[in-house]
Amino acid sequence: MERKSPHLTNSRPGHIDRRSLLDLFKYAASGLTVAAWAQEAKGTHPASARVLDQLKTRFTFQISVDVATLPQGLGVASAALKGGVHIVEMGTPLLKNEGVANVVPAFRKQFPNALLLADMKTMDGGASEARGVYAGGGNIVDFLALAGVDTAKAVCAVRDEFRRNGSELPRLAFADILVPHQGPAAQAAVVALRMLEAGVDAVGIHLQSDARRASPKLIENDYLGETARAIFERVGKSAPVQVVGGLHGAQAKRLAAAGLRAFVISGNLGQPDTVTRYNLPPDQIERLIAGFIAEVSSAK
C-alpha cells in the first residue's frame, strides 16, 4: 500500500491540496455544461459548481502514467503522488497492455484516496468504455474529442448514471482535443465549445506525442501554448482547460501566468526535452515532479 505523503497546503494563492480536491468531488452530484453553469452556480447543484471552480481556479497537476506494465505503473504513480500531483492518469499504453478491468481496480486498491483518470483515447463505443472505467473505481474518463458529439453524449450519459446511483466517488468526463489534427487554434476552440455543450466537465488541449517527435518545432514555436490560450480565452470562464503534450516548466509557467490552472506532466517529467524518465528511481521521479509543480505554482 502506498505510504501517504504530507498533503500540500493552501499557503500559495491558487493552490489546492489533494485531500481538499477529493473531498469536494465526493459531494458532486452532476456536472455542468456551458449553458447550465449559471443555473448551477445559483444553487441547483452547488457541490458540482464548487468542484469545477477548484479545477478552474486553483493549480492542479496530473501525471501521465504511460508505461507498459502494472507494477511499473503503480510505482510511477506512487512517486508522483509523493511529489504532489492531484490526479493520476492511467495512461493509454498501460490500459491497452494490461486491460481496463485489471488496471483500474488495481490503482483504486493501491491509491484509495486518489483521483484516477483513464486516458482511453476513445473514438467509438463511448458508453461501454466509460462504464468499464467507472465500474472499476475510476473517477474520470478522458475520450477523444475527434469522436464527436454523439460519443461525448454517450460518455456523459454513463457518467450521469453512475452519479445517480449514489456512488461516493466523483464521476467526470473530459474531452481530449488533439492538435495539430484539430487545429488551428480557432478551430480547436470551436471544438472545445461543442464538447462542453455536449455535457463534458472539462476539455484538454493535447499536442500529440507522435507529432511533436516528428516536428520538434511544434514545441519550440509554442504551438501548444498558443492553442491552449485560444481555447482558454473561448471557454475558460465556463470550464476547466487542461494542457498536455510534453510541457516543460517554463512553458507551463507562462500558461499559468495567462490564467490556466490544470497541467499534465508527461514522460519528460517537466524537463525541456523529449526524454522519457519513467525508469528513474522513485525518489528522482518525486523530486522532478515536485520541482515542476513548484515552478509552475510560482507564476504571478
Q: Is the per-residue pLDDT at 53 higher than 90?
A: no
User: Considering the chain, what percentage of its residues have pLDDT values greater than 70?
Assistant: 82
Does residue 10 sit within a domain? no
Distance separating alpha carbons of residues 111 and 106, to the nearest angstrom: 8
Would you list the DSSP string of 167-222? -SS--EEEEEEEETTT-SHHHHHHHHHHHHHHT-SEEEEEE-HHHHHH-THHHHTT
CB 132 within 8 Å of CB 159: no
What per-residue confidence (pLDDT) applies to 167? Answer: 59
How far from the centroid of its chain's Cα atoms is residue 170's Cα? 14
- What's the pTM? 0.85
pLDDT confidence band for 89 (50 / 70 / 90): very high
What per-residue confidence (pLDDT) applies to 51? Answer: 60
Q: Is the per-residue pLDDT at 8 higher than 60?
A: no
What per-residue confidence (pLDDT) applies to 209? Answer: 86
Beta strand 262-265 with 115-119: parallel, antiparallel or unpaired? unpaired
User: Considering the chain, what percentage of its residues have pLDDT values greater than 90?
Assistant: 67
Distance separating alpha carbons of residues 280 and 137, to the nearest angstrom: 28
Residue 137, H or E segment: none
Does residue 42 sit within a domain? yes
Q: Which of the two residues, 26 and 71, has the higher pLDDT score?
A: 71
Q: Is the per-residue pLDDT at 177 higher than 90?
A: yes
The phi, psi pair for 208, rounded to 5°, reads -55, 135
Contact residues for 178 (Cβ-Cβ < 8 A; gap 6+): 144, 145, 146, 206, 208
What per-residue confidence (pLDDT) applies to 222? Answer: 85
Q: Is the per-residue pLDDT at 21 higher than 70?
A: no
What per-residue confidence (pLDDT) applies to 132? Answer: 98
Does residue 9 sit within a domain? no
Using one digit for the tens of pLDDT, what is the confidence trace for 100-118? 999 999 999 999 999 899 9
Q: Which of the two residues, 11 and 173, has the higher pLDDT score?
A: 173
Contact residues for 79 (Cβ-Cβ < 8 A; gap 6+): 282, 283, 285, 286, 289
Q: Can you give the CATH number for the domain in which 276 is found?
A: 3.20.20.70
Using one digit for the tens of pLDDT, what is the confidence trace for 183-228? 899 999 999 999 999 999 999 999 988 887 788 777 777 889 999 9
Least-confidence region, from 82-86, 111-115, 120-124, 214-218: 214-218
Does residue 2 sit within a domain? no
Q: Is the per-residue pLDDT at 42 higher than 60?
A: no
pLDDT confidence band for 13 (50 / 70 / 90): very low
How many domains does the chain contain in total? 1
Does residue 6 sit within a domain? no
Does residue 82 sit within a domain? yes
Does residue 141 sit within a domain? yes
Does residue 4 sit within a domain? no
Supply angle C-alpha 125, 66, 59, rounded to 5: 95
pLDDT confidence band for 166 (50 / 70 / 90): low
What per-residue confidence (pLDDT) applies to 210? Answer: 86
Q: Is the per-residue pLDDT at 32 higher than 60?
A: no
What per-residue confidence (pLDDT) applies to 17? Answer: 53
Q: Is the per-residue pLDDT at 267 higher than 80?
A: yes
Can you give the residue range of the structural domain that contains 171? 18-297
What per-residue confidence (pLDDT) applies to 52? Answer: 74
